[in-house]
């Protein structure tokens, strides 16, 4: 068993697709209440590494530890049950449904009536939805607002609020500022900082160094399926990280 120095530890991870090596012996870890920026150009291996950690792909070889215990993930549902939440660019929400229904999707609150039939406790979910939004300083008019009516930054905020409210231990954010305005991106960066304030670790995946750098504690750089850099932010510079990202 690995020592419990890290929340997540991935050791010597290999992954092949149709004879092409997508990950070549990658080591990757995340500490407790740490924000790690996972950087690299398109095709660097970022998405493959995270899909392995999220339970979508098994590694061809290597080991994964979570809270010091070796794991063999069989599905995203199993990963989520451990407290690992992945938020993709589209925030994995149903846009035609309300904020409340999205926050409680698959985790609905219910009451049991005298006939022992269970029905939804709408009032409790309304109240808890607004509490969840307030925890990330996201002020929206109603828990019944339709997600499709929200801005991109607000959608990301709802997804992050959901992860925080259900006590996730690690939140993986896949390009959370992609296609957002400067103002909306700043909101999302503030949401990520709030995760750390709540003691939640996060992985911020991006090819945009200028979004990642202000909020992370550490940066990990992948290139052509290999880890080429792993630095505490104060140990490196934007110039050095950029050079590693674009290195042929």
50, 18 contact by CB (below 8 A): no
Does any domain span residue 136? no
Does any domain span residue 109? no
CATH number of domain containing 210: 3.40.50.300
What does the alpha-carbon distance between residue 206 and residue 209 come to, in Å, rounded to a whole number? 7
7, 201 contact by CB (below 8 A): yes
Low-confidence winner among 49-58, 180-189, 228-237 (lowest mean pLDDT):
180-189
Q: How confident is the model at residue 1 (pLDDT cuts 50, 70, 90)?
A: very low
Interacting residues of 182 by C-beta distance below 8 A, sequence separation 6+:
none
Neighbouring CB atoms inside 10 A of 217's CB total 17
Please tell me the predicted confidence (pLDDT) of residue 180. 82
Q: Using one digit for the tens of pLDDT, what is the confidence trace for 202-232? A: 999 988 888 888 899 999 999 999 999 999 9
Classify 224 in phi/psi space as left (phi over 0), alpha (psi -120 to 50) or beta: left
Does any domain span residue 196? yes
Does any domain span residue 172? yes
Q: Around 109, how many Cα atoms within 13 Å sit in the side-chain half-sphere?
A: 13
Does any domain span residue 104? no
Q: Which tokens sit at 138? A: 């996201």
Does any domain span residue 147? no
Residue 173 is part of which domain span?
8-93+166-246
Does residue 45 or residue 135 have the better pLDDT?
Answer: 45
Please tell me the predicted confidence (pLDDT) of residue 118. 65
Record the pTM: 0.84
Low-confidence winner among 3-12, 103-112, 149-158 (lowest mean pLDDT):
103-112
How many domains does the structure of the chain reveal?
1
- Quick one: CA dihedral 185, 188, 190, 195, positive or negative? negative
Residue 92 pLDDT exceeds 80: no
Does any domain span residue 186? yes
Does any domain span residue 3? no
Please tell me the predicted confidence (pLDDT) of residue 216. 95
8-state DSSP, 234? G
172, 85 contact by CB (below 8 A): yes
């Amino acid at each position: 068993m690995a020592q419990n120095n890290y929340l997540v530890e991935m050791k010597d991870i290999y992954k092949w697709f149709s004879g092409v090596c997508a990950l070549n012996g990658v080591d990757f870890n995340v500490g407790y209440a740490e924000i790690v920026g996972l950087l690299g150009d398109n095709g660097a291996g970022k998405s493959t590494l995270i899909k392995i950690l999220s339970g979508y792909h098994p590694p061809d070889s290597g080991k994964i530890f979570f809270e010091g215990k070796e794991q063999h993930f069989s599905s995203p549902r199993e990963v989520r049950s451990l407290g690992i939440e992945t938020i993709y660019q589209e925030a994995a929400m149903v846009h035609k449904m309300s904020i409340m229904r999205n926050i409680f999707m698959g985790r609905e609150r219910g009451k049991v009536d005298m006939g022992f039939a269970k029905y939804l406790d709408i009032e409790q979910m309304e109240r808890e939805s607004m509490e969840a939004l307030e925890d990330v300083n996201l002020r929206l008019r109603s828990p019944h607002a339709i997600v499709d009516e929200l801005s991109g930054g607000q959608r990301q905020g709802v997804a992050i609020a959901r992860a925080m409210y259900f006590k996730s231990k690690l939140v993986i954010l896949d390009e959370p500022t992609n296609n957002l305005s400067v103002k909306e991106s700043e909101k999302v960066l503030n949401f990520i900082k709030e995760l750390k304030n709540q003691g939640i670790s996060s992985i911020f995946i991006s090819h945009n160094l200028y979004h990642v750098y202000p909020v992370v504690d550490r940066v990990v750089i992948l290139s052509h399926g290999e880890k080429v850099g792993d630095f505490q932010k104060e140990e490196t510079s934007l110039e050095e990280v950029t050079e590693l990202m674009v290195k042929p």
